[in-house]
Chain A
Amino acid sequence: MLDYDFMRHAFAAATIVAVVAGAVGYFLVLRSQTFAGHALAHVGFTGATGAVLIGISPLWGLVLVTLAAGLGMGFMGERLAQRDVAIGLVLALALGLGLLFLHFFTAYATQATALLFGNVLAVDVETVWTLLALGAISLILLAVISRPLLFASLQPELAEAKGVSLRLYSVLFLAIVALTTAECAQIVGVLLVFALMVGPAAAALQLTRAVVAGVLLSALLAVVEAWLGLTLAFYTDWPTSFWITALSVAIYLLANLRWPVAIRS
């Protein structure tokens, strides 16, 4: 299987993205912001289609537009109560634009499918390097802000009192989520970003009560799902995105069935 270049690229890309998605996804689920991740992915579709229209790579369209949308969301609403409205507004505008772009996009039907559902087997070396760079940026940024981010997520009122700016970390975190979403879209497509960002994280939160263990487990589960997904896709010839989503759901269900064990950090 690994004799083929495209499989090696696919494994490299999927591993990078899975690690980042697992770690970032843990905080996303912890902060109850999964809707934000979902919305950013949809907004990303608009960016990618727009990018193709003006002749630049869809990945950069994805990155730029999700980033802008993530920052916009962060600035618009810092309070939980306001978040849904802010996200809904951004989403509505983006989907409207996406519809407009799709209107001009009909000639590129395969590319549209690849954006929506991912096409990891078509990833080239250059994309792998880009993903590695983006992934490193996301992970390093997350590592740098993780302590105050955790504090702000668990006890916002107290964190604010201790001098943590809720808005700053909300904006920074959504920027990280935006980058991660754009990366995930390369593997599983914008519609299935949930599979890598939310599935493993939600399962990890069921399986361990400790934060550090939870983040590591979430990343590990995401990698396992990606590898198994690719392997199954290779031998069955079914789409990789299908396998990854199926595994993600299966592992989440298994995690819920199992009696939770507490692992201390």
Chain B
Amino acid sequence: MTAIALRDVRLTLGDRVVLDKITLDITAGEFIGVLGPNGAGKTTLMRAILGLVKPSQGEIRILGRPATRGNPAIGYMPQVHGAATLARLNGWDFVASVVDGHRLGLPLMGKAGRAEIERALDRVGARALAQRPLAEISGGERQRLLLAQALIGRPHLLLLDEPLISLDPRHQAEVINLVKSLQRELRITVLFSAHELNPLLGALDRVLYLGSGQAALGTVDEVITGPVLSRLYGSDIEVVRLKGRIFVMSGGHELEGDGHRHDAGSSHSHRHHHAQSGHA
């Protein structure tokens, strides 16, 4: 079954055409890594799937139906998270705000609502975490609460916008493993955007690479190649594989900072000052 289908889609923000002539199908249950440089349109694509950005051309169908705002089948973890003041609240109330959040009324939680929250928190192992104020938990712990929030309402499709941002390699691996287990056990489709390919190599089924308004969807071997990436970057790209890791190079420089990082598996012996490699 097709989870997400795009037919000749053009996405425009203001006067800027972010993506154009995109046609692709994502099968239900797939784990898709969404990659591409800053501004390539990863967030815009997710917002279009959510029905928040209407295609100026073409059609987007989610689980067989046209994309519309407020689709309960989609769980979403935005790239930017609320205001800083929410840090004064505990995690529980933060996650709870999603339950029936679109319905009018008082934010009082019934039994079913509580059970729903507890189920989502348990799934991501954040039950104890939810009792603590948001301000006092780490970035990785916050990501788990956000993931719990995305799971409220039992979605069939998870859109995760840069869940690895500002996490160290160990916590990156933790989040990836968690999402992978959700995808397997709940059989949900996952779109996982990131700036680095290597940490995701073990988890993803296919890659959706965005750049220059275009998209390439396929297995790592199909997409992460010199010719395909050269087209997406609009410049000469060389792909170097080394010990199971992939480096995307442009004129001798590495793009996206992959190589500066030691990803999960290999990091323990000598994790050092490159852990916070920038890709800004």
Residues of A within 8 A of B (CB): 29-32, 80, 143-148, 150-151, 153-164, 205-206, 209-212, 214, 260, 262, 264-265
Contacts and interface: CB of A to CB of B under 8 A. Distances in A.
B85 A32 contact: yes
Chain A interface helix/strand/loop/mixed: helix
Contacts, number: 119
| 6 cross-chain pairs, A with B, having the tightest CB-CB distances, nearest first | A163-B70, A151-B101, A157-B78, A209-B90, A161-B50, A147-B107
B52 interface: yes
A76 B94 CA distance: 28
Interface core residue of B90, B101, B131 (most chain A CB under 10 Å)? B101
B80 interface: yes
A247 to B, nearest CB: 22
Interface of B: 47, 50-52, 69-70, 72, 74, 76-86, 88-90, 92-94, 96-98, 100-109, 131-133, 149-150
Contacts of A154: 82-83, 86, 89, 94, 97
B55 to A, nearest CB: 16
A205 B88 contact: yes
Contacts of B74: 161
The main secondary structure of chain B at its interface with chain A is: loop
Contacts of B107: 146-147, 150, 211-212
A146 B106 contact: yes
Nearest to B103: A147
Contacts of B93: 209-211, 265
Contacts of B76: 157-158, 161
A212 B108 contact: yes
A147 B70 contact: no
Given A31-B83, A155-B149, A162-B70, A264 B101 contact: no
A29 B85 contact: yes
Contacts of B50: 161
A154 B85 CA distance: 9
A210 B81 CA distance: 19
Contacts of B105: 143-144, 146-147
